[in-house]
């Protein structure tokens, strides 16, 4: 991986520099790598690329079936980071993320809430975000972990949507979004329309909990305008964190931007770099999200 470092940051723009310039070297002892539990089962389907994103960012991920965790919740003690990947848990039946959240609440709510309140990190991506909101891990206003305070509703046009959008980091607090100003990212969901009552929204703003907002190409607010805001989310909210900044839920999929060649329009960038006599980057900028989590424990 060290050989790739020279490929990175070649395009010269500010944003390009911050991704992966210091991806961990393979020599890093696995014993010091933060351990990541990546939850799967019942229709979660992004566990492999999520685990891969943590691995490429220097973590030690393990994919664990929810039933195995329910059988042995003590295993959580071994992990510093927990990830709820994207997918279609229970086919979105009875509301996206609801049925799996119910399963967790019915079996290991106590252990999950304990994990959430320790100095550990949690991320929920897409369906994982829907699960986190149903579990009440975000926004957890007034530290009321376990209380549902927000909901991800059907997209404004009531259809599943898969496209690249642009995000702006709007939180100083969120650990996961550090070193990111804007980020292009794929979304793929049918229910990403963030809604919460006014007092919750007010407290999100007050407590600097809005991690990502959808923006237009020129970084101006999407202002609910499709397709920049792809789902009609209030205040263009794409991701929120808890009051501590350790727990992030977001609709976009940074793990799907793990390689340079993932990005929409990369062939144009390639052609530009070739004509400038420059080499092509290897990694994708989405990895920065995962790198931030790893560095929280290693730096």
Q: How many CB atoms lie within 10 A of CB 271?
A: 10
We find the least distance from the C-beta atom of residue 172 to another protein, in angstroms, to be: 27
Residue 268 binds another protein (CB under 8 A): yes
Token pair in block for residue 59: 């973590």
User: What is the nearest approach in angstroms of another protein to the Cβ of residue 127?
Assistant: 10
22 or 94: CB nearest another protein: 94
Kindly tell me which residue out of 15, 35, 62, 148 binds another protein, with binding defined by CB under 8 A: 148
Q: Which of residues 3-32 bind another protein (CB under 8 A)?
A: none
**Cβ nearer to another protein, comparing 169 with 262:** 262
How many residues of this chain bind another protein (CB under 8 A)? 71
User: Is 162 considered catalytic here?
Assistant: no
Which run of H or of E encompasses 163? strand 161-169
Give the integer Cα–Cα distance in Å for 269 and 284. Answer: 13
Applying CB under 8 A, which part among 10-18, 29-37, 76-84, 186-194 lies near another protein?
186-194
CB burial class (10 A; 0-12, 13-18, 19+) of residue 209? buried
* 146/56 Cα distance (integer angstroms): 32
Which string of b and e fits 242-257 if b means at least 16 CB within 10 Å? bbbbbbbbbbbbbbbb
* Binding residue (CB under 8 A) for another protein from 90, 145, 214, 296: 90
Residue 193 touching another protein (CB under 8 A):
yes
**How far is residue 199's CA from residue 266's CA, in Å, rounded to a whole number?**
42
Which one of residues 23, 138, 151, 201 is an interface residue with another protein (CB under 8 A)?
151
Choose among 95, 117, 97, 93: nearest CA to 105.
97
Of 174, 189, 253, 295, the catalytic one is 253
65 is catalytic: no
- In the complex, the smallest distance separating the C-beta of residue 287 from another protein, rounded to whole angstroms, is 11
Q: Which residues contact 110 (CB under 8 A, 6 or more apart)?
A: none
Q: Does 280 bind another protein (CB under 8 A)?
A: yes
Active site includes 263? yes
Q: Note if 174 is an active site residue.
A: no
List active site positions. Answer: 126, 253, 255, 263
């Amino acid at each position: 991986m060290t050989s790739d470092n020279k490929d990175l940051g070649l395009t010269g723009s500010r944003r390009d520099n911050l991704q992966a310039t210091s991806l961990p070297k393979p020599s890093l002892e696995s014993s010091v790598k933060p351990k990541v539990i990546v939850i799967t089962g019942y229709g979660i389907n992004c566990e492999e690329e999520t685990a891969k994103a943590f691995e490429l960012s220097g973590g030690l991920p393990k994919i664990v079936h929810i039933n195995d965790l329910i059988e042995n919740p003590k295993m959580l003690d071994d992990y510093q980071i927990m990830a709820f990947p994207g997918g279609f848990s229970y086919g979105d039946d009875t509301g996206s993320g609801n049925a799996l959240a119910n399963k967790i609440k019915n079996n290991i709510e106590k252990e999950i809430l304990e994990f959430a309140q320790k100095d550990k990190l949690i991320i929920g991506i897409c369906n994982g975000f829907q699960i986190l909101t149903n579990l009440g891990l975000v926004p957890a206003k007034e530290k009321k972990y376990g209380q549902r305070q927000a909901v991800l509703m059907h997209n404004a046009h009531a259809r599943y949507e898969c496209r690249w959008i642009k995000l702006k980091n709007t939180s100083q607090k969120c650990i996961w979004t550090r070193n990111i100003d804007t980020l292009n990212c794929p979304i793929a969901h049918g229910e990403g329309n963030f809604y919460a009552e006014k007092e919750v929204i007010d407290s999100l703003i007050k407590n600097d909990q809005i991690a990502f907002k959808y923006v237009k190409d020129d970084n101006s607010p999407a202002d609910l305008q499709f397709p920049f805001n792809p789902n009609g989310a209030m205040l263009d909210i794409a991701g929120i964190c808890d009051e501590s900044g350790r727990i992030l839920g977001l609709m976009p999929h940074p793990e799907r931007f793990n390689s340079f060649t993932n990005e929409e329009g990369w062939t144009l960038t390639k052609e530009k770099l070739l004509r400038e006599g420059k080499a092509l980057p290897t990694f994708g900028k989405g990895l920065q999200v995962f790198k931030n989590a790893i560095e929280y424990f290693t730096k």
